[in-house]
Structure 1
Amino acid sequence: MTQTVTATNEAFAYSRDRLTDIVQDILRQAASNGATACEAEISEGFGQNVTVRLGEVETIEYNRDKGVGVTVYIGQQKGHASTSDFSPRAIADTVKAALSIARYTAADDCAGLADPALLARQTPAIDLCFPWALPVEHAIELARECEAVAQAADPRISNSEGATVSTQQSHFIYGNSLGFCDGYESSRHSLSASVIAEADGAMQRDYWYSVARAAADLESAAQVGRIAGERTARRLGAVKINTTQVPVLFEASLAAGLIGSLVSAVSGGALYRRSSFLLDSLGQQIFSPIVQIRELPHLVKGLASSPFDAEGVLTRDRELVKDGVLNGYFLGSYSARKLGMQSTGNAGGCHNLLVDSTGEDFEALLHKMDRGLVVTELLGHGINPVTGDYSRGAAGFWVENGQIQYPVEEITIAGNLKDMFKGIVAVGNDVLVRGSKQCGSILIDRMMVAGN
C-alpha cells in the first residue's frame, strides 16, 4: 500500500487563515452583543468511502462536511448554537441565537471558560495529517483484493458482507475570548473486510480492519483480508459449554474495552454525579500491581493525539496508573470545578492510553492460563457503571493445557469490574493500535462463564 502526500491546503475549501478569521469575528460579535466570554470551534472535513461486495462495487461515497459551534457566557449563564453555513449572516444569527439561549439559562457557578493559566500558549507540533491521494479506481482495486483474499482463506467461506476502503481528512480552529486561538489538520484512513462461512448447516461471520493516520501504516489489503477470512472460518463448529468459573483471556481487540470502562468510571461527569463504581479512587489500588497505564497525548501519528483539549488546555504526558494505583482522573473545566479540582486537559476525552505489556505474546498467555476461555467477541452492553457489575454475551475458544481446543458460542461471562481489574495477571505484547486505547490481550484470573 502506498501513500501519496499532497499539499493539504489545496484540498480544503477554506484555508486555516480563513477559519481563524471567522472564529475571531465570532468572538468580536459575541463581545459586542453582551457576552462576557465566548468560545468557538470551526471545522471542515472531506473523505471518500468505497465498498465492494462479491467483487462488485456496492457504494462509492464522498463526504464534505463543515460546521461551527458557538458557546457564549453572560456571567455564568451559558448558551450554545451551531450552524453549517459560514456566510456572515448565518454566523451573526448563530451568535445571536447562542446569546438568546444564555439569557434564559439558569446561572451555574461552575460554568465558564478554562483556567487561563492552563491554556496551551505554546503548542507542541504533532504531525497528525497524512493525506492519501487515492483515486477511486485504486480504492476499488484495494477493496476487491481485500475481499478476494478473505474469500479464498478457506473453502467454507460462502458469502461476503464486503470490503471497505476509507480515507478522511479534516482541520479545525478553536478560539476563545481569553486569547487562545489554534488548531490543526488530521487524517484517518481505514481498510476492512467481513465474510461469512458455512458448514453443516451453521453459519459464522467475522471481520478484520486496520486504521491509521497514514496510509503507509495500514495493514495491506491482503493481510486484512486473510485475517478476516481465517477468523471467520475458525469459528465454525462452535459449541455451548457448561457453566463454570475459569480464567478468561480477552483478545487484544476487546481488551481496550476494559480500559474504556476505566475511562468512563474516572471521568468527571460520572464522578460529580456520583454514578461511578470508582468514586473516591484517586490514590487507591484499583488494578493488580502489574498494571501500568500511561497517557501520551503528543505521539506522532497517534489516533488520539492532541496538543490541547477541546477547551484549549495544554495536554501533558502522565502516569495514569502506576503499579495498579490510580494517579489521575479525566477532567474538563466544568467537571473539575464541580469536584473542586483542576482540569486534566481531557475535555473531549482521553489521549492515547498505553497499557504496558508484562512481556508475554499470545501463545505465552494461553500457556499461563492453562485452562479457560479466550473471548474474541462480546455481545450486548451489560455493564452497570454505578456498581461495576459486568455481564455480557460472548463467543471465543476453549483452552486446555495451554492450547486452543474448539470454538464456543452462546455463553455469558460475568463478574465485577473492580474484581476483574484487580484480577489481571498478564497483559500481552500483541498490541492493536486502533483508537485512543493501546493494549495487548488481557488475562483475568477468574470469571463466571455461564453456558449449559
Structure 2
Amino acid sequence: MTDDLLDLAGLAVAHARKLGADAVHAVAADGRSTEISVLDGRIEKVEQSEARDISLKVFAGKSSASISGSVLTKEAIHRLAENALRMAKLAPPDPHAGIADPDQLATEIPELDLAATDLPDPAKLEELAKRAEAAGLAVKGVSKSSGAGASRSETSVGIVISNGFAQGYRRTGVGVSMSAIAGEGLAMQRDYDYSSAVHFVDLRAPEVIGRTAGERAVERINPRKVKSQSVPVIYDRRVASGLIGHLLGAINGAAIARGTSFLKDAMGQQIFGPHITIVEDPHMLRGHGSRPFDGEGLACHRRNLIDQGVLTGWILDLRAARQLGLAPTGQGSRGGPSTSNVFLPASTETPEDQIRSLKQGLYVTELIGSSINNVTGDYSRGASGFWIENGELTFPVSEITIAGNLKDMFRTIRPASNLEFRSSVSAPNCLVEGLTIAGV
C-alpha cells in the first residue's frame, strides 16, 4: 500500500519539478474506517468511509501554494502540479518558507508496530458494542443507555519531497465506548468510558468499559452546588491531560513566533515545580501518536519538554524554527508544529492519598467549554465532579466554574501514580492548588 502511495507522490513531485518548481512536498494518503453504534441492543448507525487523496505544496522561490485532490490518475496529478505551480508564482514570498536541507532528513526509520493484523470485522464490532452496552445497563441504578460503539481504522501515508526524502508508513486503530444514563427525568445524569488502541489485543474488555460507564453515571446522581471559594482541585486523569494540552499550545513555535503566548519569554525558566518532567516520545511502540519521522521528513526524538520544572524549548517545524533562528526539532506536520506522544510521568502518591490529604477540595471528572486566554494564561472552565470533605469524596457537584491562571497552576501541579496511556497526550490525576470555584 505505501509503495503505491509513494509512486503517486513521486509522480507529482517529478512533474512539478519538470515544470520549473524550485521545491515540492507531496503527501499521498489512503484511509478506511468502520464505526458501528448500538442503542438498546440494536444497531443504530453504521458508518464506513474510504478516502484516497494527494496533497502538494509547491515552491516558486520563496513563494508557495498548497493544493489537494482525490482523483489520482496520471493526468489528474499532472494538472494538480501545474495548478499548484501557477498559484505559487502568484503568492507573496515568505522568507521563512522552504523544505529541509538534505542533511537534515531522517536516515534511520524505526519500526514502531503501528499496524495491526487483528482488526475486528463489522460483525465483531457490533458484538463489542453490544457487550459494552449490556454491561453498562446491568449496573444497578442505570436507567437507560445513551449508546455504545466500536470502530476500526486503517491509514497509510507516503511522503515524497524533492530534497530526496521518500518514506511511508501504515497505522491502525480500534476503539470501544459506552455512555450510560442514571436517574429519571430532570435528575438524569450521564457518564461514559472508552478504550482505544493501535492493536485490538490492547483494548480493555468491553464489559469493563460498560460497567465503568454505568458506575460513573450512578455516582453522579443528585448533584449539589457549592459556595464560591478557593480550594485545591484534583483533576481526574480523564481531564488532567487537558492541562498538558494548554502547555503544548503555549510552547508551540508558531505562537511563540507571533508573540501570542503567555510563555513567550519563559525558555530556560522554572515554570513547574522541580518534581515535574514532561516527556515527548514519538517512538513509543504502539503509541497513539507515534510516528517514525515528522511530516517534513525530519527525525523525531524523545525529549523532555519540561525537565525538572524547567522549560527546555519550543515545539518547532521548519518555518517556526527559521522565524526564531533555531534548529528544527522534528515536530513538523502539514498543519504546523505538532507533538506525538506527550505524557506527565506518574509519581508514587496514589489518587487515594491525594484525596486524603485535603480537608476540603474539588475532584473534577468533567470539563465543559473553555475560556483560555493564550496571551495572559487566564483559565476558566465549567466543571462537574465530587466535593472532598475531610479527605473523602462526599457528594457530586455540578454547574460550577473553576478559574485561575495557568502560570500559577503549572507551579503547583502534583501528579498522582495512576498514569495510563489512553491518547496522544496523557497524565495521571493532578492536584492543583488555589483555584477559584464560582458556585452559588
TM-score bracket relative to the smaller structure: over 0.9
**Structure 1 stretch displaced more, 382-391 or 15-24:** 15-24
- Specify the code of the residue in structure 1 equivalent to 2:207: A
Other-structure match for 1:360: 349
Other-structure match for 2:366: 377
Other-structure match for 1:114: 100
SS at match of 2:288: coil
Other-structure match for 1:440: 428
Other-structure match for 1:278: 263
Verify the 8 A CA contact 1:55 1:144 in the aligned structure 2: yes
Q: Post-superposition shift, 1:64?
A: 1.1
Deviations 1:380-429 (A, max 9, x none): 111111110001110000011211000000100000000000011x2112
Q: Post-superposition shift, 1:199?
A: 4.5
Other-structure match for 1:423: 412
Distance 1:245 1:176 in 2: 54
Other-structure match for 2:129: 143
Distance 1:200 1:171 in 2: 47
Choose the corresponding residue for 2:314, options 329, 337, 356.
329
SS at match of 1:224: helix
Choose the corresponding residue for 2:389, options 400, 409, 415.
400
Runs of 5+ consecutive residues of structure 1 not aligned to the other structure: 1-14
- Specify the code of the residue in structure 1 equivalent to 2:412: G
Distance 1:49 1:302 in 2: 21
Q: Post-superposition shift, 1:200?
A: 7.4
Other-structure match for 2:402: 413
SS at match of 2:428: coil
Distance 2:262 2:420 in 1: 27
Choose the corresponding residue for 1:232, options 197, 208, 217.
217
Distance 2:302 2:359 in 1: 37
Other-structure match for 2:20: 34
Verify the 8 A CA contact 2:345 2:419 in the aligned structure 1: no
**Structure 1 stretch displaced more, 266-275 or 357-366:** 357-366
Deviations 1:120-146 (A, max 9, x none): 022122111113342322221211110
**Structure 1 stretch displaced more, 257-266 or 436-445:** 436-445
- Specify the code of the residue in structure 2 equivalent to 1:412: T
- Specify the code of the residue in structure 2 equivalent to 1:339: L
Other-structure match for 1:219: 204
Is residue 292 of structure 1 aligned with residue 280 of structure 2? Answer: no
Other-structure match for 2:143: 158
- Specify the code of the residue in structure 1 equivalent to 2:127: E
- Specify the code of the residue in structure 2 equivalent to 1:433: F
Distance 1:341 1:209 in 2: 40
SS at match of 2:260: coil
Distance 2:422 2:359 in 1: 29
Is residue 129 of structure 1 aligned with residue 115 of structure 2? Answer: yes
Deviations 1:231-258 (A, max 9, x none): 1111001001001110000010111000
Distance 1:236 1:133 in 2: 37
Q: Post-superposition shift, 1:303?
A: 0.7
Verify the 8 A CA contact 1:121 1:180 in the aligned structure 2: no
SS at match of 1:131: coil
Gap change, CA 1:105 and 1:150, over 3 Å in 2: same
Verify the 8 A CA contact 1:291 1:324 in the aligned structure 2: yes
- Specify the code of the residue in structure 2 equivalent to 1:420: M
Distance 1:56 1:328 in 2: 51
Q: Percent identity?
A: 38
Gap change, CA 1:18 and 1:243, over 3 Å in 2: same
SS at match of 1:112: coil
Deviations 1:323-366 (A, max 9, x none): 11011210000011111111111113112112122212211111
Choose the corresponding residue for 2:73, options 81, 84, 87.
87
Distance 2:163 2:310 in 1: 36
Verify the 8 A CA contact 2:3 2:158 in the aligned structure 1: no
Q: Post-superposition shift, 1:368?
A: 2.4
Distance 1:132 1:58 in 2: 25
SS at match of 2:247: helix
Verify the 8 A CA contact 1:31 1:38 in the aligned structure 2: yes
Deviations 1:35-91 (A, max 9, x none): 000010001011211110011110122111111100110110101110011111211
Choose the corresponding residue for 2:63, options 71, 74, 77.
77
Runs of 5+ consecutive residues of structure 2 not aligned to the other structure: none
Other-structure match for 1:184: 169
Distance 1:184 1:17 in 2: 9
Other-structure match for 2:8: 22
What TM-score does the superposition give when structure 1 sets the normalisation length?
Answer: 0.94
- Specify the code of the residue in structure 1 equivalent to 2:423: G
What TM-score does the superposition give when structure 2 sets the normalisation length?
Answer: 0.97
Verify the 8 A CA contact 1:54 1:160 in the aligned structure 2: yes
Other-structure match for 2:339: 350
Gap change, CA 1:285 and 1:115, over 3 Å in 2: farther
Is residue 97 of structure 1 aligned with residue 83 of structure 2? Answer: yes
SS at match of 2:340: coil
**Structure 1 stretch displaced more, 146-155 or 235-244:** 146-155
Distance 2:185 2:154 in 1: 45
SS at match of 1:108: coil
- Specify the code of the residue in structure 2 equivalent to 1:302: G
